[in-house]
């Protein structure tokens, strides 16, 4: 089944209800300010297109954080409403609760154009994929648009059940389409050589992604804390580095699956006695008992960069070290630079931390695609499908 996209929708005079992923990071103290607006910025073209196509009303749905089915001012979408109003130069009315009579009344006022429903996870039905909630939401729109790629791995009321009420009247937004096309290229027709760089903390979190990558790629570069269980599995000393027994066992399993010898591990490290300690070079592979690995070393950077240079397709997920600390950010920044310098490759960055690292490097614009999905981008790669996308295509 083909995904119907916003471009083909006739919205003239129609009420549109649209799901976005405005789950953006906020400051911890009042007044709460958005610290990274990317997810909203990347949704603006979809919102603008809906309005330009002549929709009479636009009702926006999103979640923010995990308020667990009850109202909680900490997770209010208020800062998002204010930011949207500024960017769209139009009033964006935030409803008091995600579904109530107030919303209906609001929509009856001729001057109301854009309404943002308060955090949909304030309603207990959202995460339960509740049909009744979906039915209520459906009364707010003639047409449903889903642009929330970042939440498409969730089978929730506003991403999944709601599709039951919009047969042949549901469309993918522009961001959703771009995400699916870009990540789809990786799993369906990657131009070879295809090189993946996987980092981050836990093998157990990413085992399915790594297994899938072993099938798709020519070379799999593993760095960051992810590398230590692999090195330990091969018999090297990892000192105090992050490394659980469970992860070592999983790493052993993955190494035995790697018949083609695609996995490449670090050759040296930057180590320290603690997370706050001063960085020291560790030229060999074994790390002394009182030290922990916190970044990849120069030899590793060079070897990974040499691989990346040859790639026609690159997928990067997870940092190469503790990049939040400037003492241990060098490896991650150099990998970002290596990918950005390869102008002949199709490059995709996915997953929360590596996206933050891509932004920190100042090179995010140089990548072919920086995904707004964390869990969603990895699940899409693993399975080639997500509940939210599936429901848009074929209904529920």
Q: Does the footprint of ligand 3PG cover residue 374 (CB under 6 A)?
A: yes
Residue closer to ligand 3PG by CB (options 84, 334) is 84
352 catalytic residue (yes or no): yes
239 catalytic residue (yes or no): no
66 catalytic residue (yes or no): no
Q: Does the footprint of ligand 3PG cover residue 151 (CB under 6 A)?
A: yes
Phi/psi at 195 (5° precision): -120, 130
Catalytic residue among 375, 383, 393, 395: 375
**C-alpha distances in angstroms, 216 versus 209, 239, 303, 314, 386?**
10, 33, 21, 11, 19
Residue closer to ligand 3PG by CB (options 150, 279) is 150
> Minimum Å distance from CB 21 to ligand 3PG?
5
**275 three-state secondary structure:** coil
Q: Does the footprint of ligand 3PG cover residue 23 (CB under 6 A)?
A: yes
What is the spatial order of strands in the sheet that 292-296 belongs to? 280-282, 269-272, 292-296
Contacting range for ligand 3PG; rule: CB under 6 A; set: 47-55, 147-155, 194-202, 215-223: 147-155
Q: Write out the binding residues for ligand 3PG, residues 54-73 only, by CB under 6 A.
A: 66
E strands, 176-332, are 194-198, 219-222, 263-264, 269-272, 280-282, 292-296, 313-317
Q: Does the footprint of ligand 3PG cover residue 369 (CB under 6 A)?
A: no
Residue from 45, 69, 193, 375 touching Mg ion (CB under 5 A): that is 375
Which is nearest to 216 in space by CA: 240, 241, 188, 237? 188
Answer with the entry of ligand 3PG, Mg ion, none that 177 interacts with (C-beta below 5 to 8 A by kind). none
383 catalytic residue (yes or no): no
Residue from 150, 223, 319, 388 touching ligand 3PG (CB under 6 A): that is 150
E strands, 140-259, are 143-146, 170-172, 194-198, 219-222
Residue closer to Mg ion by CB (options 113, 155) is 155
DSSP secondary structure letters along 46-104:
HHHHHHHTT-SEEEEE---S--TTS--GGG-SHHHHHHHHHHHTS-EEEPSSSSSHHHH
Interacting residues toward Mg ion by CB under 5 A:
374-375
**Site residues (vs ligand 3PG, CB under 6 A):** 21, 23, 66, 150-151, 154, 374-375
Residues acting as catalytic residues: 39, 202, 352, 375
């Amino acid at each position: 089944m083909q995904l119907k996209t916003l471009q083909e929708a006739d919205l003239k005079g129609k009420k549109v209800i649209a799901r976005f992923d405005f789950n953006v990071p906020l400051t911890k103290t009042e007044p709460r300010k958005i610290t990274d607006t990317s997810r909203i910025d990347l949704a603006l073209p979809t919102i603008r297109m809906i309005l330009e196509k002549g929709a009479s009303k636009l009702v926006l749905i999103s979640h923010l954080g995990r308020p667990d089915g009850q109202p909680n001012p900490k997770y209010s979408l208020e800062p998002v409403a204010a930011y949207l109003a500024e960017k769209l130069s139009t009033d964006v009315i935030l409803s008091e609760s995600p579904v109530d009579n107030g919303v209906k009344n609001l929509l009856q006022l001729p001057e109301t154009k854009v309404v943002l429903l308060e955090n949909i996870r304030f309603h207990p039905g959202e995460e339960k994929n509740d049909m009744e909630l979906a039915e209520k939401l459906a009364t707010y729109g003639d047409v449903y648009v889903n642009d929330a790629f970042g939440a498409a791995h969730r089978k929730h009321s506003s991403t999944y059940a709601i599709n039951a009420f919009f047969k042949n009247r549901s469309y993918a937004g522009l961001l959703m389409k771009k995400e699916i096309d870009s990540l789809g290229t990786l799993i369906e027709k990657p131009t070879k050589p295809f090189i993946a760089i996987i980092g981050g903390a836990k093998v157990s979190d990413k085992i399915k992604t790594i297994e899938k990558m072993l099938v798709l790629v020519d070379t799999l570069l593993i760095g960051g804390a992810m590398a230590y269980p692999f090195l330990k599995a091969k018999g090297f000393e990892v000192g105090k580095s992050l490394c659980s027994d469970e992860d070592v066992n999983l790493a052993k399993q993955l190494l035995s699956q790697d018949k083609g010898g695609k996995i490449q591990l670090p050759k040296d490290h930057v180590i320290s006695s603690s997370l706050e300690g001063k960085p020291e070079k560790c030229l060999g592979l074994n790390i002394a008992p009182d030290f922990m690995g916190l970044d990849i070393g120069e030899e590793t950077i060079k070897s990974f960069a040499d691989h990346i240079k040859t790639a026609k397709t690159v997928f990067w997920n997870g940092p190469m070290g503790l990049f939040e600390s400037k003492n241990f950010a060098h490896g991650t920044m150099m990998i970002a630079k290596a990918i950005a310098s390869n102008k002949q490759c199709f490059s995709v960055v996915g997953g929360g931390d590596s996206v933050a690292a891509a932004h920190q490097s100042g090179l995010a614009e140089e990548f072919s695609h920086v995904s707004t999905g964390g869990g969603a981008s990895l699940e899409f790669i693993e399975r080639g499908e997500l509940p939210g996308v599936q429901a848009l295509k074929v209904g529920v």
